[in-house]
C-alpha cells in the first residue's frame, strides 16, 4: 500500500516493517510496507495530523476493522463505495449509481430532491419531496392514490392545448378540457382502436363522440355525438344510422315544445303541451294547428285523411260497396253491429245507399234499420215489432 503525506521533511520509522521515507520528487513522503509486516497487512497510522492530502494511487481505503467496507477509484474520475462486501454507490463526474436494493432516504424527515421545499402534506422519513419540476422519460407505475391539488390541471399531450382534467372546490366544479392541439372532440373508442384515426374534423364547440367497436379501417362514421351549439342549444347527432331512445321510464318534455325542423329557417311543425296539460300539434304560423286534445275531446282543424286508402273511423272496417281509396271513409268494424250514431241532424249532400240484402236482417239489425231487397228490388225496414216490412207497403213482409 502506498500513501503520500505532504509536509514532512525526513524519513520516519513508524513501526516494524513500516517506513516513511522522503520522496522530494513527489512533493512529500511515502509510507511503505517492509518485510516486518506480514503479507496482506496494511500500515496503521494513529494520531496523524496532516496539512496536505493522501494519494491512494487507485488502491482502496478500508473503513472498518474487517476491511469489507472500503472505497476506491474504479477508473479515472469514478469512485466506488463498498459496504459489507456489497457495492452500494458508484459515482463519477456526471452520474451517481446506487447498488441493488439500496434505499436512499433521509432518516429524520422526507428526502428533499431538487430545490429546497417544505412539505404541505405531512411527508416524513421514507417519503420524497421534489422541490423543482420532475420529468420522467419512461413508463411510470403508481400502486396507490394519485392526489392532485385543488385547482391544479392534470394535462395530457401538449400542456394547456392538450387534454386537461381539473377539480376546483372553490367553484365546486370538475372540468375536462380539450385544446387545439388534440382537437375539440373527445372520443370514446374500443381499446383495440385506441390508436385509430377516425378522421373527425376540428369543431367550434367541445364535442363528446363515442364510436361503435368497428375499427376505423372499416368505418369512421359509426358514432354518436353531443355538444352545445351556442345560441341554438344542445345537439345530439349520429354519423350513421338512426338515433334510438330506450329509457327505462318515460320520455318527458316537461311543458316544452318539440319542433320537427330547423327553427332557424322558418316556423316548422311542432308538438306542444299547453299550461293545462293539453296537447297541440302546430303546423306553423301560417297554417295554424292541426288538432288540439284535452282529457275530454280532440279538436281537429284539418282534414282527416288516409293518404293511401279510405280513412277508418271507429274500427278497421274495409269498405265493400265503395272504392277503398283516398277520400273515402269507412266506419265501424268488419263484424256486424252498430257503427254510427248521430244525436243531431245528419245532412247528406249525395245519395244514401242502404245495404243490399238477400235475406231478413231484422233479427240482428235494430228497429228502424233501412235495407234494400236485392232479390225483388224494393226498399224495406225493420218495424217496431222487429219484422222486416216493405217501405211502400208496411203491412207486407219484405222477404
Residue 147 lies in a domain: no
Residues spanned by the domain of 8:
1-55
Domain end call among 55, 78, 94: 55
Between CA 4 and CA 150 the distance in angstroms is 61
In this prediction, residue 210 carries a pLDDT of: 93
Listed residues 199, 216, 246: the one ending a domain: 246
Q: In total, how many domains does the chain have?
A: 3
Least confident of 115-119, 181-185, 352-356: 181-185
- Scanning the structure block, which residue is given the C-alpha cell 361503435? 212
Tens digit of pLDDT for each residue in 22-49? 454 444 455 555 444 455 555 555 555 6
Nearest-angstrom CA–CA distance, 365 and 387: 10
Determine, yes or no, domain membership for 166: yes
344 domain-assigned: no
Q: Which of 16-20, 141-145, 161-165, 275-279 has the highest mean pLDDT?
A: 141-145
Confidence of residue 284 (pLDDT cuts 50, 70, 90): low
186-204 confidence digits (pLDDT tens): 899 999 999 999 998 888 8
Compute, in degrees rounded to 10, the torsion defined by CA atoms 262, 264, 270, 272: 130
- Is residue 399 domain-resident? yes
Mean pLDDT of the 317-329 span: 81
Distance CA 379, CA 156 (A): 91
Point out the domain boundary residue: 246, 279, 311. 246
Mean pLDDT highest for which of 20-29, 60-69, 210-219?
210-219
Would you say residue 240 lies in a domain?
Answer: yes
Flag whether 237 is in a domain.
yes
| Count of other CB atoms within 10 angstroms of residue 373 | 19
Is 60 among the domain residues? no
Is residue 221's pLDDT more than 90?
Answer: yes
- In this prediction, residues 217-223 reach a mean pLDDT of 94
Most confident of 168-182, 332-346, 375-389: 375-389
pLDDT band with cut points at 50, 70 and 90 for residue 2: very low
Residue 287's pLDDT is 55
Q: Is residue 214 part of a domain?
A: yes
Question: Quick one: which of 188, 244, 245 has its CA closest to 213?
Answer: 188
Q: What's the gap between Cα 4 and its chain centre?
A: 72
Amino acid at each position: 500500500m502506498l500513501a503520500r503525506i505532504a509536509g514532512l521533511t525526513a524519513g520516519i520509522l513508524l513501526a516494524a516493517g513500516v517506513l516513511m521515507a522522503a520522496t522530494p520528487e513527489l512533493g512529500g513522503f511515502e509510507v511503505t510496507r517492509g518485510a516486518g509486516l506480514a503479507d496482506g497487512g496494511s500500515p496503521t497510522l494513529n494520531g496523524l495530523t496532516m496539512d496536505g492530502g493522501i494519494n491512494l494511487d487507485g488502491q482502496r481505503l478500508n473503513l472498518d476493522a474487517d476491511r469489507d467496507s472500503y472505497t476506491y477509484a474504479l477508473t479515472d474520475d469514478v469512485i466506488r463505495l463498498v459496504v459489507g462486501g456489497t457495492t452500494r454507490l458508484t459515482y463519477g463526474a456526471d452520474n451517481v449509481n446506487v447498488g441493488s436494493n439500496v434505499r436512499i432516504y433521509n432518516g429524520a424527515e422526507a428526502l428533499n430532491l431538487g430545490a429546497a421545499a417544505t412539505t404541505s402534506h405531512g411527508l416524513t422519513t421514507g417519503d420524497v419531496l421534489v422541490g423543482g419540476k420532475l420529468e420522467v422519460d419512461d413508463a411510470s407505475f403508481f400502486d396507490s392514490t394519485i392526489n392532485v391539488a385543488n385547482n391544479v390541471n392534470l394535462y395530457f399531450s401538449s400542456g394547456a392545448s392538450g387534454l386537461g382534467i381539473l377539480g376546483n372546490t372553490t367553484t365546486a366544479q370538475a372540468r375536462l378540457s380539450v385544446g387545439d392541439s388534440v382537437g375539440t372532440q373527445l372520443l370514446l373508442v374500443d381499446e383495440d382502436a385506441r390508436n385509430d384515426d377516425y378522421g373527425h374534423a376540428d369543431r367550434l364547440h367541445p364535442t363528446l363522440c363515442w364510436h361503435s367497436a368497428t375499427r376505423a379501417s372499416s368505418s369512421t362514421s359509426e358514432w354518436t355525438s353531443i355538444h352545445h351549439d351556442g345560441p341554438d342549444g344542445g345537439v345530439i347527432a349520429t354519423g350513421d344510422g338512426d338515433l334510438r331512445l330506450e329509457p327505462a321510464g318515460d320520455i318527458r318534455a316537461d311543458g316544452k315544445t318539440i319542433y320537427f325542423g330547423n327553427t332557424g329557417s322558418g316556423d316548422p311543425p311542432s308538438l306542444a303541451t299547453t299550461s293545462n296539460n293539453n296537447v297541440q300539434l302546430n303546423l306553423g304560423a301560417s297554417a295554424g294547428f292541426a288538432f288540439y286534445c284535452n282529457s275530454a275531446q280532440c279538436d281537429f282543424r284539418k282534414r282527416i285523411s288516409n293518404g293511401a286508402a279510405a280513412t277508418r273511423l271507429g274500427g278497421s272496417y274495409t269498405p265493400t260497396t265503395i272504392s277503398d281509396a283516398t277520400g273515402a271513409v269507412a266506419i265501424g268494424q268488419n263484424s256486424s253491429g252498430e257503427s254510427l250514431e248521430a244525436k243531431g241532424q245528419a245532412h247528406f249532400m249525395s245519395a244514401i245507399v242502404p245495404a243490399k240484402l238477400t235475406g231478413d236482417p231484422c233479427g240482428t239489425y235494430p228497429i228502424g234499420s233501412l235495407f234494400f231487397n236485392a232479390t225483388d228490388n224494393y226498399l224495406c225496414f225493420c218495424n217496431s215489432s222487429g219484422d222486416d216490412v216493405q217501405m211502400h207497403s208496411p203491412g207486407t213482409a219484405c222477404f
